[in-house]
Amino acid sequence: MLLITVLENTTNPVFISNVQDALVVAISGVENPAERNRAILSAYTSKKALREKLLGVIPRVGGDDALKLVTSEFNTQKGAAKDMAFKALTQWKDQSVSNQLYAIALGTVTKYKADAFTAYVSKIGKSKLNPDQKLLQLRKIMILAATPDQKKQVIQALKGNRTFLTLVFVAKYLDEPAIGSDAAWVAMDIAMPPSGSKEGMFGEEVRVILNKCIGVIAGNDSQYARENMRNWLAAMPKDPGFVSMFNGKDLTGWKGLVENPIARAKMTEEELAQKQAAVDLTVPESWAVKDGMIVFNGKGNNLCSVKDYGDFEMWVDWRITKNGDSGIYLRGTPQVQIWDTSRLDAGAQVGSGGLYNNSKNQSKPSRLADNAIGDWNTFYIKMIGERVTVVLNGVTVVDNVIMENYWDRAIPIFPSGAIELQAHGTDLGFRDIYVHEIKAENIGLSVQEQADGFVSLFNGKNLDGWVGNKVDYCADNGELLVEPTGKGGSGNLYTEKEYADFAFRFEFQLTPGANNGIGIRAPLEGDAAYAGMEIQVLDNTAPMYANLQKYQYHGSVYGVIPARREFLKPVGEWNEEEIWIQGTRIRVTLNGTVIVDGDIAEASKNGTIDHNDHPGLKRTSGHIGFLGHGSVLRFRNVRVKTL
């Protein structure tokens, strides 16, 4: 490469810098990674006098071969050559150098340790790693922090890393005088709603942390920050949020395993109590607490939560050793898999996180997302009904998959049960175990909707809370599926409760030609479009509806107030809608655009535009319903707020 020759013959520092810049551009433009660094690495190996100049280029280009070469130089050279190689590592273009920097920071050569620490934190902090991985990598280096300044570097690198476990980790440093205020600023940034959003973190753990932040935060604008935190504390939902299952000190809240859920159900209370007492005595032989972790020594049985859980989401960090094998049992049922991915004989190369014991539904994770053996991993697990989602190290590896009942495959998984840490003959560790129990009335709600008083009307699992046609309407994959069984079949599904003034929000997915409706203030008998009111749900684009009356199109108060058109998304995509009614005022908002804003009394005072009698317009309360007209479509995230 001509530029390498030019660089070799250039002595002016300014010109050297210019040629180095040109080399970076030229090399970065080579598409084939295998060819990209060949010339420059060859020159580095063969032209000793050129090495210092090339070390101003290599870190900016990066690449596995280049990193391997510079790492070797650092490990084998001495004096100035070693220093140049180290400088190149600290200037590397991305976080791919993090393992090398960590090893140096962990090493015994004092000369390089502090700068390696700082470079590591900088690379990870500025990286595009997902938030879960970024936290894991920064927690790893925090163990090596020898000064308050180094701890501060790690804390500040986590600013904006909005995960619950990041908040918990940062909050651990609120009590350290030298860095408490810095930790408070970062914790506040993580927990509070971002600018332009109302979606902040909530729960008793968050409340405790923010109150502590109020007490220690200092510096410019700290008074303003305190006021913001107090405002959020007053506004946040009352839901307890994520609750710790492990206090970091002992096994309070945990117990030994007595057989399996079906066997336990057949025992008398006295028999179960006796067996439980016996196995609890054996727990210390297998499980212990060390350095804030639950550790298993490889001998014994599962560790179970004392409390049973139904619908929930949880965070848990885990770490295994060579040939490790474990898992997380949900509702007493195996399992979200954990294993050493090098165990090819067991099929572990697919990765952890799969629903290992499924036989009909997906059992393997969608991709490999494990960290190296000996490093920590993070699970986020969500279970609603029989469906499970697993996120491993920030990567979704199981997405809303049915978890089968391993103990009796003829029946669905149990509605509630213990969370278990599986013992499988190898030592392992768990830390930061938090669970949030999800109430049926909160399913599908945003944080702001919970704070505003919305409640969920559909739990995604069954039709509890609904009356009417439960044949053509059913829960399917967390959604409300309308699938008429008869020719031209219809039928309505209504809320058990009646509502007067309210905001009703839902999402819907149309099929070609779909026709349905939302009944409001409706009785259970009669035609809801007249005996109550119907807000039309319709595929406006279908040719069969080209010549409808204007009051028959989507969003219209049927026969009374026509809606603006052209705001539906293409058929097959999900739409969002809100129906707001207070007294005689009604407003319909579709995908963020108001398509109806009127007064039903005013609109009908001289008769309705369809010239039909609508006695339901005078009703002040009634049921909310889905009004079937023989079409297949889906609804989800159905929620209501009483005004």
Mean pLDDT of the chain: 94
Residues 402 and 514 in one domain: no
Q: State the sign of the Cα–Cα–Cα–Cα dihedral 528, 534, 538, 540.
A: positive
Which tokens sit at 560? 């009374």
Query: Worst-scoring range by mean pLDDT, 33-47, 247-261, 607-621?
Result: 33-47
Residues 426 and 526 in one domain: no
Residue 486: pLDDT over 60? no
Partnered with residue 581 across adjacent β-strands are 502, 586
The 10s digit of each residue's pLDDT in 179-197 is: 999 999 999 999 999 887 8
The 10s digit of each residue's pLDDT in 609-619 is: 999 999 999 99
pLDDT of residue 13: 86
Query: What CATH number does residue 192 fall under?
Result: 1.25.10
Residues 490 and 578 in one domain: yes
The 10s digit of each residue's pLDDT in 280-311 is: 999 999 999 999 999 999 888 999 999 999 99
In-domain check, residue 474:
yes
pLDDT of residue 37: 82
CA-to-CA distance for 629 and 613, rounded, in angstroms? 21
The 10s digit of each residue's pLDDT in 540-549 is: 999 999 999 9
Is residue 324 within 8 A of residue 297, CB to CB? The reply is no
Which of 418, 438, 458 corresponds to the end of one domain? 438
In-domain check, residue 101:
yes
Residue 489: pLDDT over 50? no
Query: Worst-scoring range by mean pLDDT, 7-11, 74-78, 577-581, 636-640?
Result: 7-11
Residue 487: pLDDT over 70? no
Which among 610, 236, 638, 327 is positioned nearest to 464, based on CA atoms? 638
Partnered with residue 503 across adjacent β-strands are 580, 641
Residues 518 and 369 in one domain: no
In-domain check, residue 245:
no
Residues 482 and 584 in one domain: yes
Which of 405, 438, 471 corresponds to the end of one domain? 438
Residue 531: pLDDT over 80? yes
User: In angstroms, what CA-CA distances link 453 with 198, 444, 643?
Assistant: 14, 13, 9
Residue 576 phi, psi dihedral angles, 5° rounding: -115, 135
CA-to-CA distance for 533 and 27, rounded, in angstroms? 68
Residue that is written with structure tokens 């599962």 in the block: 302
Identity of the amino acid at 246? F
The 10s digit of each residue's pLDDT in 399-445 is: 999 999 999 999 999 999 999 999 887 788 999 999 999 998 888 88
Mean pLDDT along residues 134-161: 97
CA-to-CA distance for 34 and 30, rounded, in angstroms? 9
Domain extent, residue 355, equals 254-438
Q: What secondary structure does DSSP assign to 158-169, as a single string?
A: TTT---HHHHHH
Which of 212, 239, 266 corresponds to the end of one domain? 239
Query: What CATH number does residue 282 fall under?
Result: 2.60.120.560
In-domain check, residue 613:
yes
Mean pLDDT along residues 321-345: 95
Quick check: helix, strand or coil at residue 490? coil
CA-to-CA distance for 51 and 241, rounded, in angstroms? 56
Residues 387 and 467 in one domain: no
Reported confidence tier of residue 490, pLDDT bands at 50, 70, 90: low
What is the number of domains present in the chain?
A: 3
The 10s digit of each residue's pLDDT in 556-576 is: 999 999 999 999 999 999 999
In-domain check, residue 314:
yes
Residues 566 and 599 in one domain: yes
In-domain check, residue 404:
yes
Residue 157 phi, psi dihedral angles, 5° rounding: -70, -15
CA-to-CA distance for 15 and 56, rounded, in angstroms? 13
The 10s digit of each residue's pLDDT in 52-68 is: 888 888 999 888 999 99
Residues 47 and 92 in one domain: yes
**Has this prediction a pTM greater than 0.95?**
no
In-domain check, residue 443:
no
Residues 48 and 156 in one domain: yes
CA-to-CA distance for 399 and 415, rounded, in angstroms? 20
In-domain check, residue 246:
no
Query: What does DSSP say about strands 479-482 and 633-642: parallel, antiparallel, or unpaired?
Result: antiparallel
Quick check: helix, strand or coil at residue 230? helix
Residues 232 and 353 in one domain: no
pLDDT of residue 197: 82
The 10s digit of each residue's pLDDT in 511-525 is: 999 999 999 999 999
Residues 32 and 180 in one domain: yes
Residue 6: pLDDT over 90? no
Phi/psi-derived region of residue 543, left when phi > 0, alpha when psi is between -120 and 50, beta in every other case: alpha
Residue 85: pLDDT over 90? yes
pLDDT of residue 5: 85
Residues 110 and 57 in one domain: yes
The 10s digit of each residue's pLDDT in 356-370 is: 999 999 999 999 999
Provide, rounded to the nearest whole percent, the portion of the chain with pLDDT above 90: 83
Mean pLDDT along residues 444-467: 92
Query: Worst-scoring range by mean pLDDT, 371-385, 416-430, 613-627?
Result: 416-430
For helices 148-157 and 131-142, give the axis angle rounded to 10 degrees.
180
Is residue 113 within 8 A of residue 150, CB to CB? The reply is no
